[in-house]
Amino acid sequence: MNRRYRKTIIAGNWKMNNTLSQTKTFAEEIKPIMPKGKWCNVVLCVPATNIQSAVRLFKDCHIAIGAETCHELDHGAYTGEITAAMIKEAGAKYVIIGHSERRQYYNETDFTVNKKVHAAIEAGLIPIICVGESLEQRELGVTMELIAYQVKCALADVAPEKVRHIVIAYEPLWAIGTGKTATAEQAGEVCQAIRTVIRKQYGAHVARSVTIQYGGSMNAKNAEELLAQPDVDGGLIGGAALKPADFVKIIEAANQE
């Protein structure tokens, strides 16, 4: 983390979990244990049906709300989809884009990720852009090239003053939902490489402002070590964000001096 230049952001990704009543229960449980007045920003990315209520439920404990995806267009005949403007009007501040599950199950590509990033920015949302390599790609030794390619594609034609405010989540596919975490060194190395890519494209001023998270089985036990890496500015958390006490422990790790 480097709080001098950029925000530390701990974001939960609930995926397809938690009904509205379960969301209310989560809010009741987390409120009394939420750390107060500290440095890190906290976000919960929730199913679209819960966004509006979640904004209200988590307001007092300063948890911002995000969506888990958005469509790249601003209207049209796309049954079942929602636009970035709809998400914004529902009260969300963030939207996850290009999560590996969206890439794997819904054919999202680096090209659609870029369109969605533009749509999110246009609507006034902060995109949390996910990039990451598979185990095969890591073993082939192409991680850095692949991540650079994903980052460059995602940010194509995004203006530098907009890039400063985006969030990138490095999520190695082999670590998501597997209980297998990247070592702090692996996470730090790739997050640093992402910042270098941004620096080469947009300059040092932009690069040092961008929040780069690690995601992949981050939990109460390993968060502190991962967050101690200078280029790891927070976490995108799946499983551990479903349990208030575990999520709070990760927030506490991010709040340490």
The binding site for ligand PEP (CB under 6 A) comprises 13, 171, 176-177, 215-218, 236-240
> Among candidates 217, 228, 220, 117, which has minimal Cα distance to 168?
117
30 or 45: CB nearest ligand PEP: 45
* Residue 99 among the catalytic residues: yes
Q: Among residues 126 and 236, whose Cβ is nearest to ligand PEP? A: 236
- The dihedrals phi and psi of 135, each to the nearest 5 degrees, come to -65, -40
* N-to-C CA span, the chain: 10
Indicate which residue of 72, 108, 133, 171 is catalytic. 171
Residue 171 bears catalytic tag: yes
Whose CA is closest to 246, among 229, 224, 221?
A: 221
Least Å distance, CB 242 to ligand PEP, is 9
- The crossing angle, in degrees rounded to 10, of helices 244-254 and 20-30 is 50
By beta-carbon proximity to ligand PEP, the closer residue of 98 and 210 is: 98
CB closer to ligand PEP, 80 vs 179: 179
Write down the catalytic residue from 71, 99, 133, 252. Answer: 99
Q: State the residue number with the nearest CB to ligand PEP.
A: 238
Whole-number Cα distances in Å, 24 to 28, 30, 251: 6, 10, 20
| Percent of the chain that is helix, strand, coil (3-state, to 5) | 45, 15, 40
> Which one, of 101, 104, 102, 84, lies nearest residue 93 by Cα?
84
Q: Which residues are marked as active site?
A: 99, 171
